[in-house]
Amino acid sequence: MAEATDTAVREPMDPLPASKAPRAPARPQPNPLMLLFQGLASLRLTVVLLLLGSLLVFFGTLAQVDGGIWQIVSKYFRSYVVWIPFQIFNVFAAERSDVAGGFPFPGGWTIGFFLLVNLFSAHALRFRFRVGILLTHAGLVVLLLSEFVTGMWAIETKMNINEGSFTNYAYDTREAELAIVDASDPDNNHVVAIPQSLLAPGSVIQHEQLPFDIRVDEFYENSSLVRRQAGKEALATFGTGLTHDAKERSVITGTDPNQSVDIPAAYFTLRRKGSDTKLGTCMTSCQLDVPFREDWDTIGQKRIVDGKPYQLNLRYRRYYKPYDLHLIDFRFDRYQGTQIPKNYSSDVRLVNPSSNEDREIHIKMNHPLRYQGETFFQSSFTPNERGTILQVVNNPGWLMPYISCTMISLGLIIHFSQTLFKFLQRELAK
Amino acid sequence: MKTFERIFPWAILLIIMAYLVSTAARTTRNKSDFDLVAFGNLPVQTGGRIKPLDTLARNSLYAISHKAAFVEEIGEGDDLVEKKQPATRWFADMLFNEQRAAEHKVFRIVNDHVLGSLGLEPRKGFRYAYTEIAPDKLREFQQWARDVSQKEQMRQQGMKADITVDDAQASAFDSKLAAFSKALAVNQFPIARGNELTQGEFRVWMQRIFRESGNVPRIIPTAEEDADWSTIGTASFKAIGEKVKGDMAALEAVDDGTTKAATFVAEAYAATGDNSWINLLWKMRDAYRHGRPDEFNALVAQYHAQLGQDSAASPPRLFLESFMNGFQPFIQCIALTLITMILVVISWFGWRRPMLRAAMCLAIVTLIVQTTGLFARMYLEDRPFVFVTNLYSSAVFIGWVVVMVGLFLEFIFRNSVGLTVACVVSFLSLIVAHNLDVAGGGQDNMQVMQAVLDTNFWLATHVTIVTFGYAATFIAGFLGIIYIVLGVFTPVLDKDLSRTLGRMTYGVICAATMLSFIGTVLGGIWADQSWGRFWGWDPKENGALNIVMWNALILHARWGGMVRQRGIAALAVLGNIITTWSWFGTNMLGVGLHSYGKMDRAFFWMMIFMSTQLVIAGFGALWPYKSWLSYEALTQGPPKRRGGKRVSKLSPA
């Protein structure tokens, strides 16, 4: 690459002026700061950054053969520096083998940051009013920022609803929480939710609303439930753990985030508040939670403490909404005479008492529902085809790409059609 | 001589037109007593759409024989004649006369070990009949095939499994057997296998049709749109059910021989109405088996007449699709671009004007044929302005865009470069398309789109524009190749030509940047609409992003004065690699580059192509400038026209 550009410059070619290059007009007494500024504003830097960007994207694509897409995204594209193992080039080899070593490379944030700096400096240093270029570059800034906003603040969750039923929360399969539900009040459940970050093995959880302390005996980031063989002693003294064990598994690195999720599981021991008196041990796993069951309303490890029933439930982190979504009907249309999916759609009813809303909405592929800053997409369905799974995305920057691409497309069209028009005018005049 | 010069292009045009018209006429002409062309136009519902039997017949035969026609041996001993027959003939036998179908030599087997295990000898043409394989040999072979498929599964799960070339060939023949049974399964007449219909056999038949019902092409039409059609099996089952009214004792008359099975079934069909689809098919079968072409043809005609009135099938669509199958517009275009290329090459050595004129005419004819073909596909798929629905059609589309852009460049510059680009790149792209089609092994190349892809709006905008961007990047890359090849290996690249080529490349890269950017972003918006993620960093998206970045890189390098004609040429050639990566490479990542078989071959050719591009770009960038054969032409003598000032106006900076 470098050779190509260098030799090209040395060519004794026709006098096509390189005048707009920043280095062309030599200044008599360069100020060092000014030199740096010129460097940051130079088109050479642009070309280098584009080359690095291209390579990074290429490496990040190859790495996806073995790594999970989200892992790669955070390692390669949403990072400052990335260590690129030689192993990724193995896809071109005839036989698979393990290759050691690697090399460091600037990550997505770094390249993006310098592209922005380069762009702003260039426009500051050599400002010329050309609508097309300005629009294109302004749009590019919005686009880079939008990826930053998405990377930092977007939340992707899921929502399951059964036909004839409703849901008022979404869950995030990338994080778990321990919910302790006091269902003694028939009208309202009292829920205490402990985030995953507090669930380290050995730690003790105390909460003013709970008449007991909880000791975390074990916490597995990924696990599977197995029926215990006869004769093996149970760790748990009540609940599902009497018949099943949670078996630890390695964290999933699959390429498809929709199909494989980690299933956290944990063992907890309940103790009388402030003492070591054991009230019992239980096992609870996200395998008993929403994504894996259709009767997800009544689950949990029950224990009666001080005459009140409590349910302990390790579940995917829930985000409760101030409204209910009812599922009227889920449809899975197939192409005539085949099993090839043609369309998935959900007829839902949105009930929001706070705003007196009660309306029906048809959600289908490519036609999501946008509501209160969140977007609901038809994502999947329960195995019996009577429940829908919606992907709920909260991305504060979702509109930015739309604005950006309008700007860039307009900018490119204006700029290049001006170029083309001038050119054609001249050619045809001959 | 002058007159001849003037007439020559028109003469070429006339010959080509005559050829195209006669080919078109030939595809609609029937060559046997039985009207197999009309038979091929009958509809069948399979793969989620309604298509003519002709398509099903060709694809099925192709999967078995690697050809959409076969050689039938008629007569015996000294009277034996070999006759080339269309796929519809084979399929009519499969449907109506299964014994004869099994005798057609259609299985293509080339591997010695596979042949040996089946007890067959290698022969010219490598085509074998089902009846030539002894049953015990077949059982032995199937054991081998099962072992191989086990090994394949192990390999998919990441375990080591030694699959030899012979194993792969065995697996290939096993798929051919599967394709054969799949085609034969359409024939679900209850007395298809032998002429008996005892209660026991009736049960076997019932079990068979229930087992197969899901995947069997459905031939019995319904009147409603988008509804499921019936198979011969289900229609027969209904008819027989009506006749026996749930009382299996009614079959006893068949069992003890009082009623002949065929009569029994015929009565059941007749009871569904004289003109019911199943009854017509039954009568067609009878006429076909007993060699009564007039009756057969009349029945087919009646079937067609009824289709227009009470079925969801559209006879013009069926006719058009069969015609396209026979005419193969994009294959014709391969020939057309090749002839154009020859004319252009001749024009470089002499007789320039008439040759270029003729080439221009041919390029326009190619464009017309391609356009008609593409719009016919749209009409058949019922997707207006959706040019690209799969890899095959993307290659066809690129071939079309290239001819359009090439003609446009030729119109502006009139230096035969545009024409060269048009015919060479289009030729290559159509060859790629043809090979993709062939590699599909008889797959429908107009298959339906899976749920999320089933949106004409995004297919017509995002996919079309992105593919247009691929085409533009390839054109720029090819212009780069012309520049480097002319400069290094010939003395003809003078200042003038160098500047013109540089400009053409630059203009095309501008367009490519714009198209690939807009197309990519539209894809992001589609993704945002369908799952809430504007950008997911998946391989295909990344590939498109790479193209945009590379084109932007070339433009900025030029605006910054870092490269000129020569540098742009080298960079544009590298762009070919990036576009190929985005177009094919990223698709191969999904299935793993290590999977052997079809993709392996595609991967091999992709690497070959990429290497050639690397070598050419290397020559352009690294070959010492003074060793270029065009060095003198490039450095000496004043430019014939135009000063540098004008050129600079082109640069936006």
| Residue with the larger pLDDT of the pair B477 and B171 | B477
Tell if the CB–CB gap between B546 and A57 is shorter than 8 Å: yes
Chain A residue with Cα closest to B520: A405
Please state, in angstroms and rounded to a whole number, the distance separating the CA atoms of residues B349 and B356: 12
CA distances A226 to A185, A234, A296, B72, B272, Å, are 34, 12, 20, 61, 57
Q: Identify the segments of chain A with pLDDT beneath 50.
A: 1-22, 24, 254-259, 296-298
The answer to whether A333 and A197 are in contact (CB under 8 A) is no
For B501-511, write each residue's pLDDT tens digit.
999 999 999 99
Confidence (pLDDT) at B370: 97
Length of chain B counted residue by residue: 653
Tell if the CB–CB gap between B639 and A14 is shorter than 8 Å: yes
Under DSSP, the state recorded for B275 is: T
At residue B219 the predicted structure's pLDDT band, cuts being 50, 70 and 90, is: very high
- End-to-end CA gap in chain B: 51
For B433-444, write each residue's pLDDT tens digit.
998 888 777 788
Under DSSP, the state recorded for A291 is: G
Confidence (pLDDT) at B566: 93
Tokens representing A38 are 């010129």
The answer to whether B415 and A427 are in contact (CB under 8 A) is no
Q: At what angle do helices B539-559 and B565-580 cross, to 10 degrees?
A: 180
Predicted confidence (pLDDT) at residue B288 exceeds the cutoff of 50:
yes
Tell if the CB–CB gap between B564 and A8 is shorter than 8 Å: yes
Query: What's the number of CA atoms in the CB half-sphere (13 Å) around residue A339?
Result: 4
For B445-477, write each residue's pLDDT tens digit.
888 887 778 788 888 999 999 999 999 999 999
Predicted confidence (pLDDT) at residue B274 exceeds the cutoff of 60:
yes
The answer to whether A140 and A119 are in contact (CB under 8 A) is yes
The answer to whether B490 and B630 are in contact (CB under 8 A) is yes
At residue B647 the predicted structure's pLDDT band, cuts being 50, 70 and 90, is: very low
B228 neighbourhood in chain A, CB within 8 Å: 336-337
Chain A closest CA to B417's CA: distance in Å? Answer: 16
For B97-106, write each residue's pLDDT tens digit.
988 999 999 9
Which residue of A95, A172, A253, A335 to mutate against B (max B Cβ within 10 Å)?
A335
Predicted confidence (pLDDT) at residue B265 exceeds the cutoff of 70:
yes
Where is average pLDDT lowest: A300-314, B12-26, B41-55, B508-522?
A300-314
Contacts of B373 (CB under 8 A, 6+ apart): B324, B329, B330, B333, B396
Tell if the CB–CB gap between B535 and A412 is shorter than 8 Å: no
Confidence (pLDDT) at A248: 85
Chain B closest CA to A207's CA: distance in Å? Answer: 37
The answer to whether A115 and A144 are in contact (CB under 8 A) is yes
Predicted confidence (pLDDT) at residue B36 exceeds the cutoff of 80:
yes
Query: What percentage of chain B exceeds 90 in pLDDT?
Result: 53
Confidence (pLDDT) at B593: 40
Tell if the CB–CB gap between A64 and B538 is shorter than 8 Å: yes
Predicted confidence (pLDDT) at residue B86 exceeds the cutoff of 90:
yes
The answer to whether A386 and A332 are in contact (CB under 8 A) is no
Confidence (pLDDT) at B432: 93
Please state, in angstroms and rounded to a whole number, the distance separating the CA atoms of residues B399 and A178: 59
Query: Which of B226, B224, B238, B309 has its CA nearest to residue B273?
Result: B238
Confidence (pLDDT) at A127: 75
B511 neighbourhood in chain A, CB within 8 Å: 416
For the ranges A220-224, B237-241, B259-263, B421-425, the one whose mean pLDDT is highest? B421-425
Contacts of A95 (CB under 8 A, 6+ apart): none
Tell if the CB–CB gap between A377 and B650 is shorter than 8 Å: no
Chain A closest CA to B449's CA: distance in Å? Answer: 7
Confidence (pLDDT) at A299: 57
Predicted confidence (pLDDT) at residue B92 exceeds the cutoff of 80:
yes
B651 neighbourhood in chain A, CB within 8 Å: 16, 20
Confidence (pLDDT) at A95: 62
Confidence (pLDDT) at A239: 81
* Amino acid making up residue A21: A
Mean pLDDT confidence for B44-52: 90
Where is average pLDDT lowest: B55-64, B87-96, B596-605?
B596-605
Confidence (pLDDT) at A294: 53
Which residue of A56, A61, A343, A406 to mutate against B (max B Cβ within 10 Å)?
A61
Confidence (pLDDT) at B419: 96
* Amino acid making up residue A172: D
At residue B597 the predicted structure's pLDDT band, cuts being 50, 70 and 90, is: very low
Where is average pLDDT lowest: A149-153, B87-91, B145-149, B301-305?
A149-153
The answer to whether B633 and A6 are in contact (CB under 8 A) is no
Confidence (pLDDT) at A313: 86
| Residue with the larger pLDDT of the pair B144 and B312 | B144
Mean pLDDT confidence for B207-235: 84
How many other C-beta atoms can be found within 10 angstroms of the C-beta atom of residue A203? 11
Please state, in angstroms and rounded to a whole number, the distance separating the CA atoms of residues A223 and B377: 50
* DSSP symbols for A202-243: T-EE--TT-SEEEEEEEEESSEEEEEPPTTPPPS-SSGGGGT
Mean pLDDT confidence for B3-11: 90
Query: Which of B218, B189, B212 has its CA nearest to residue B202?
Result: B189
Under DSSP, the state recorded for B217 is: P
Confidence (pLDDT) at B599: 58
At residue B645 the predicted structure's pLDDT band, cuts being 50, 70 and 90, is: very low
Per-residue burial over B255-264, b = 16 or more CB atoms within 10 Å of its CB, e = otherwise:
beeebebbeb
Tell if the CB–CB gap between A412 and B518 is shorter than 8 Å: yes
For B378-389, write each residue's pLDDT tens digit.
999 989 999 999
For B498-555, write each residue's pLDDT tens digit.
999 999 999 999 999 999 999 998 888 888 888 778 888 888 889 999 999 999 999 9
Tell if the CB–CB gap between A16 and B226 is shorter than 8 Å: no
Calculate the average pLDDT of chain B: 87
